[in-house]
Amino acid sequence: MIPLVLLVLAVLAAMGIGVVGGYLVHKARADRRLAEAEARLQEVQRQAQEEHKRLLLEAKEEALKARAAAEADLREQRRELQRLEARLNNREEALERRAEVLERRERAVAHKEKEVEQALAHAEEAKAQYLKQLESLAGLSVDEARTLLLKRVEAEAESDIARRLWELEQQFHEEANEKARRIIAQAIHRLAADVTAESTVTVIPIPSEEMKGRLIGREGRNIRAIEQATGVDLIIDDTPDAVTISCFDPVRREVARIALQKLIQDGRIHPARIEETVALARQEVEETIRQAGQQALFAVGVGGLHPELVRLLGVLHYRTSYGQNVLKHSIEVALLASMMGAEIGAHVETCKVGGLLHDIGKALTHEQEGPHAEIGAEVAAKYGVPEPVRRAILEHHNDQPSSVEAFLVAAADAISASRPGARKDTLEHYVKRLEALEAVASSFPGVEKCYAIQAGREVRVMVKPQEVDDIGATKLARDISKKIQETVVYPGQVKVVVIRETRAVEYAR
């Protein structure tokens, strides 16, 4: 039994010793770890202090820099304020001086006004005294003297007019044929209508090439909308800074021109805006047509026509025939026919209206088939034009008209069409003149490109800057103009512009 107790005691003693030893070992390890942790803590504190000092120094440097920049800005602002203050002071002084000058001028004007009023008052007094003296001397009042003078003048004028009319009548009977020829010649010269080149295209300038893309639109929707709304062909090609409108109907072409100009100026180009702008342009053209028709009636002295006939007359403003404007040609025919009708005793009003409406059918040749004379007669009958006028319209191209008035309208039409400069091959001569001008300019050395513009009234010459200097450009313009005078036939004058352009090109890499 005792050995067993001793064994238990020995085991317990060994366990106690093991526990104490383990505790001592664990404590030693814990102390060592604690010492290491304190050492690391001290190191971290030291590094934190160093980092704090470094950040503090950097913050101080940044603050000093910011303060220096702020002080510099403040000084600059103070200098700018000083400059502005000086300018304001100078302006105030100038305004004060100007105010003083204006005050002096106002005083001078007021003084002059008083002097003028006094002078007017003296003049009125002198006029009244003068009239009283005249009345007392003549024994008549002012109204009585005026009436008596007018009666004497009227009597003398009637006598002179009667004598002059008798002299003119005698002269007319003596020189009837010569006077008729002279009247016709003078009428042709006085009533000569402007010649307008016949064309089916209109060129619209655009501010930039980017505008072409906007006119075309996404997948061509804008150009399709323009063509559908106006009925023209819009040609957008490589022509620089320009697009072309092509159409045989001049009214539709004018509507498209005005609408395009409005769209380009506005900048908002999309189908809805296009339809709105075309509608506005069509209204504007219709108003121009109406005014042109009314002006034609006023120029001829005709009234009482149906409004639709007046509108069709205005449409002729946009028509040309062999280079001659049809509306001006119609006015010319009306005046010539009425003059000749008055000379031979025909019905002047029929001649005048028949001459004015003889080409009215040309306003509808784009819409109806048949000769324009027949179309015009049908339109005249539709709107209540008298039969003699309709006959003159229908027969103005016949060899044997059925009435004197129709014959006179046909004769006036032939005179207006055949007078010098009325109808001729203007396009061919025009192109030849432009080619001749460009050929003369191109014949000089140093010329790179040349263009005849403004209907041949100006020649733009681009020269090579490395071959022609500024002085040489001036001499070249003089030489070209001299050669044009010697070799080319042209109306009016031709302006020669020589352009020398120097370009400097560099690339940023």
Reply yes or no on whether the pLDDT at 185 is more than 60.
no
In this prediction, residue 196 carries a pLDDT of 44
- With a pLDDT cut of 90, the percent of the chain lying above it is 3
Sign of CA dihedral 125, 128, 129, 130: positive
**Segment 196-233, tens digit of pLDDT:** 444 567 788 888 878 878 888 888 888 888 888 888 88
Reply yes or no on whether the pLDDT at 388 is more than 60.
yes
Contact of 497 with 459, CB cutoff 8 Å: yes
Reply yes or no on whether the pLDDT at 408 is more than 70.
yes
- Kindly report which listed range (132-136, 253-257, 392-396, 405-409) carries the lowest average pLDDT score: 132-136
Output the six-digit token pair for 114. Answer: 């008083």
In this prediction, residue 357 carries a pLDDT of 85
Q: Phi/psi at 70 (nearest 5 deg)?
A: -65, -40
In this prediction, residue 285 carries a pLDDT of 85
Distance CA 154, CA 149 (A): 9
Contact of 364 with 350, CB cutoff 8 Å: no
Sign of CA dihedral 153, 154, 158, 159: negative
Contact of 187 with 335, CB cutoff 8 Å: yes
In this prediction, residue 461 carries a pLDDT of 92
- Mean pLDDT across 49-70: 87
In this prediction, residue 480 carries a pLDDT of 92
Contact of 437 with 452, CB cutoff 8 Å: yes
- Mean pLDDT across 251-258: 85
Reply yes or no on whether the pLDDT at 108 is more than 60.
yes
In this prediction, residue 444 carries a pLDDT of 92
Instruction: Output the average pLDDT for the chain.
Output: 80
In this prediction, residue 184 carries a pLDDT of 56
In this prediction, residue 295 carries a pLDDT of 86
Confidence of residue 66 (pLDDT cuts 50, 70, 90): confident
Q: Phi/psi at 499 (nearest 5 deg)?
A: -115, 125
Confidence of residue 379 (pLDDT cuts 50, 70, 90): confident
3-class SS letters over 220-235: HHHHHHHHHHHCCEEE
Closest CA to 194 of 3, 476, 426: 426
**Any bridge partners for residue 463, and if so which?**
447, 500
In this prediction, residue 135 carries a pLDDT of 67
Reply yes or no on whether the pLDDT at 245 is more than 60.
yes
Distance CA 501, CA 335 (A): 54
Looking at per-residue confidence, does 311 or 156 come out higher? 311
C-alpha distances in angstroms, 292 versus 165, 289, 314, 319, 328? 37, 5, 5, 12, 10
Output the six-digit token pair for 315. Answer: 């449409």
**Segment 6-16, tens digit of pLDDT:** 777 777 777 87
Contacts of residue 394, defined as CB under 8 A and 6 or more positions apart, other chains included, come to: 373, 374, 376, 377
Q: Phi/psi at 451 (nearest 5 deg)?
A: -140, 135
Q: Phi/psi at 449 (nearest 5 deg)?
A: -145, 155
Confidence of residue 194 (pLDDT cuts 50, 70, 90): very low
Helices (H) and strands (E) in the chain — how many of each? 15, 8
Furthest-apart CA atoms within the chain: distance in Å? 192
Helix (H, G, I), strand (E, B) or coil at 322: coil
Confidence of residue 190 (pLDDT cuts 50, 70, 90): very low
Q: Taking the C-alpha atoms of 268, 271, 277 and 283 in order, what is their torsion angle to the nearest 10 degrees?
A: 180
- Tallying the residues shown for the chain, one arrives at 509
Helix (H, G, I), strand (E, B) or coil at 254: helix
**Segment 326-373, tens digit of pLDDT:** 888 888 888 888 888 888 888 888 888 888 888 888 887 666 777 888
**Segment 265-307, tens digit of pLDDT:** 888 888 888 888 888 888 888 888 888 888 888 888 888 888 8
- Mean pLDDT across 400-412: 83
Give the predicted TM-score (pTM) of the model: 0.45
- Mean pLDDT across 475-502: 84
Output the six-digit token pair for 484. Answer: 């044009």
- Mean pLDDT across 23-52: 84
Reply yes or no on whether the pLDDT at 129 is more than 80.
no
